[in-house]
Chains A and B, each alone.
Chain A
Amino acid sequence: MRVGLEILKLARSNGARTIFVVGTGRNAGKTTALRAIYNAAWNEGMRVALASIGRDGEAMVPIEAPSKPRLWLQPQTVFTTARALLPRSPAAELLKLSSLQSPAGEVLYARAVIGGFYELAGPPTASGVREVVDELLARSEIAIVDGAVDRVAAVSGSDGAIVVAVGAGGTSSLQEAVAEIRALVTRLRVAEVDPGVSAVHVDGALTADAAAALIARGETRQIVVRDPTQIALSGRAASEAFARLNVRCRRPLRVVAATVASIGPERNFEPAQFANAVAAATCLPTFDVYRSTKAA
């Protein structure tokens, strides 16, 4: 199975021109998933653009932080990187210098002319991401973004697709990894507000304190946030809130698939068991990017 192509088809089935690949944490296999989708799009003859949001969305990068893996970009691929990260060779066609800042410096737009290794970079802010996506879409048929969960608001309310990656790295057990992706997907798939039903609109983020207050007063109306990234809940608070409140959003997101990376630096999970558990927990088409399979 060509996993990248399958995910691309799922994303494109509703006309998505932007695909955000987000992960539950580090070593979730985001870059591997992105590479698979990118290669599929390029092999399909599409004009592809790539971007990355900072390093996991951090505005500042600690010096000891591991660098992003470089990607082999095929000719004609449009991409964003930081001025300081642009390699001297092979030379790329520079399309635009931007005033946006990435953790590694000023962002620029370029097009690979000769295939080569490049490091992607992009701005850490939601408005910056929106600007980058618009610029890339003006120059390509599809933009694939190595994203951060809290910046996917850039595609909220649009037909942009989200792919969620989870890996064995950074978790202590398969159960914990599955619980993490279940919580993330539940949050990202919060349904659109029903305009015919009474609602309480939350100004800003729905925090654990705000959710507790709403539960305590027995709120039964729809609890409406701008988009799912405004739900600042995790763990038990998130489970309780979703079980006892009718949380909705004005600008929903479209999560189309999950990917699993069953191998991690510290531990491995049994690949088929992991993929099947994720598929069952998220009800999403789930792909193993290392095994090139889809979960049953």
Chain B
Amino acid sequence: MRARPLLDDATADVLGFDWLAHAVAPVSPPGERAFSELHPFAVGEETSAQLRAERIGEVAARLDPARIEAIRAALLELPDAASAIARASLGDVLADPAFLELRRFCATIERIDALLADVPVLAQLSNAAVGSVRDMLAQGQTNHDHFYLADGFDVELAMARAHLAKVQAELNALRGRESERVARELGREALGGDEFIVMRAELRGAMPPDVRVLREAATYFLCTLEYGEATLAALERRDTAAEAVADAEERVRAKLSSTVRDNAAGLNAAALAVGQLDVTIAAARFAQRYRCVPAELSQQPVLAFEQARFPPLETELVAAGRAFMPLDLELDDAAVLTGPNMGGKSVALLTCGFLALCVAFGLPVPAARARVGLFTQIAWLGLGREGHVGGLLSSFAREVLALKEILSREAPRLLILVDEFARTTTPHEGKALLVALLARLRERRACGLLATHLEGVASAAGVRHFAVRGLRGIPAPPATDDIRAALAALGASMDYRIAEVSGDDVSRADAIALTSLLGIDQQFVDAAYRALVQ
């Protein structure tokens, strides 16, 4: 799954592209290959994006989570048979591990088919080639998970092995007898390994004639057993028989490899299909986990949603025992978003970007309902981006350079999310810059949302103005200096929902109340309130 050209690296980081890619990642090697080819749908491909999202939504609706996990478990065990199929296609004689891979590949395909038997929305994966290779490799096997180049594959192989077993037994008997006799002559129970030590002091008489001395030391001999003519002849017969077995085994492998080659097209088709299924199942799992629905794809640059969420943050909040307040928004142009500190302006921008990202990849979106267009680029400007531009520049300079770079792009349909641009300059000039930016975005017919604390930007630019509803009341600071308790109190009092307001409405920042809630001493807070009214 490739972020570019839809997202630059900084935007991908901020919007949680890696999080999304991980959440929809397949588990099998063919799935990983299919996943690596995924790219965003381009403007004009709305129907394809819509169909993909609807198909994923249908799979998520028809398969319960337990069935999805069972299919994932099977996919996780799917071996990568691509290399074996490719080598057989080139005329190679495969080695036994490749046959085991192919055997398990065919078995896993059929196991997945069984799990999908009553799901008409997903086609069966198996085909005649898979069946042929499965049947061929099952010959003579006693365990469905193993592979052995069994006698059942070939009569000549069976005969060669039977002969080898016979001559090996003869050799073992001769060697055993010789070894026992020499051990007896040396007065010991056994010789030990191929090389053994005989102490000079323990040697009774001469060294037995069948013992060859490899090394002499002051107190001992290092020896080995020298086999007699009968044993050497048996050894030769064994080696000849082993060569015959090796030849027979190789002939069987060649025959099996040839069958794999004949069925390569069908096997590749099954591998391709299982890879695509893996990607679809992973996306359906994502849709189930995060309660996603297919968005209605619009031909226009629009971003409209109800009850939308930003899953990376929602997951964190749920882990902390808190809830994400879903958002509604309808955006078809450039607009302004205002609201109090910690009121969720940035999260609203992230939610917009995440939904647009999901739609671009044909994924269902984390919302109750959505109507979204495809964009050629999604760009983030503001907090979270600074690290990606410049070194010895002020934060304002870095922002300006980032904006310049974004505006210079060839992006006929741009979605830009701007988080407090020009917050570090004077409010007067900051407002002017934002108004100019909005004018430029309207000229380009870009879709954008600009979050700011500066007043009067929307009316000056003549654009729509959205605002976070804000604090329902000022929560009392917690008794102890506990940031978690303060955040929980704030979360309970804040209405994070967004509503469109008239152009001149002034958002409350509630910044002084928040400093009190976050533990700044009362004297400081009182001084701030006094300064506010002066």
Interface residues of A (CB under 8 A from B): 1-3, 32, 35-36, 83, 86, 88-97, 108, 113-116, 262-263, 268, 270-272, 288-292
Contacts and interface: CB of A to CB of B under 8 A. Distances in A.
Shortest beta-carbon contacts, A-B, top 9: A89-B246, A91-B149, A93-B148, A292-B192, A291-B197, A290-B197, A94-B100, A94-B147, A83-B97
Most buried by A among B96, B168, B191: B96
B161 interface: yes
Contacts of A290: 192-193, 195-197, 222
Interface residues of B, number: 39
B245 interface: yes
A292 B161 contact: no
Nearest to A75: B165
Contacts of A116: 242
B97 A114 contact: no
B278 interface: no
Interface in B237-252: 242, 245-246, 249-250
Contacts of B190: 1-2, 292
B146 interface: yes
Contact of A90 (B97, B192, B249): B249
B518 to A, nearest CB: 36
B332 interface: no
15 contacts: A1-B189, A3-B192, A32-B193, A86-B96, A89-B242, A91-B149, A91-B249, A94-B96, A94-B147, A97-B79, A114-B165, A271-B197, A290-B193, A290-B197, A292-B192
Contact of A88 (B145, B189, B219, B246): B246
Given A93-B146, A94-B96, A94-B97, A289 B250 contact: no
B524 interface: no
Contacts, number: 100
B148 A91 contact: yes
A97 B147 CA distance: 11
Interface in B505-526: none
Interface of B: 79, 95-97, 99-101, 104, 145-149, 161, 164-165, 168, 188-193, 195-197, 199, 215, 217-220, 222, 242, 245-246, 249-250, 253
Contacts of A270: 217-220
B128 to A, nearest CB: 26
Contacts of B191: 292
A289 B245 contact: no
Given A3-B192, A83-B95, A292-B188, 18 more contacts: A32-B193, A36-B193, A88-B246, A89-B242, A90-B246, A91-B96, A91-B249, A92-B148, A93-B146, A94-B96, A96-B145, A114-B164, A116-B242, A272-B219, A290-B193, A290-B197, A292-B191, A292-B196
A83 B97 CA distance: 7
Nearest to A115: B168
Nearest to B157: A91
A233 to B, nearest CB: 34
B204 to A, nearest CB: 16
Given A94-B147, A271-B219, A86 B95 contact: yes
Nearest to A35: B193
A89 B239 CA distance: 12
A292 to B, nearest CB: 4
Contacts of B189: 1-2, 292
A288 B197 contact: yes
B245 A89 contact: yes
Contacts of B95: 83, 86, 88
Given A2-B189, A86-B95, A89-B249, A97 B222 contact: no
Contacts of A90: 242, 245-246, 249
A96 B192 CA distance: 33
A114 B161 contact: yes
A290 B100 CA distance: 40
A88 B197 CA distance: 35
Contacts of B245: 89-90, 114
Contact of A94 (B148, B199, B217, B220): B148
Given A88-B246, A268-B217, A93 B193 contact: no
A181 B528 CA distance: 76
A92 to B, nearest CB: 7
A268 B168 CA distance: 35
Contacts of A83: 95, 97
A94 B146 contact: yes
Contacts of A292: 188-192, 196
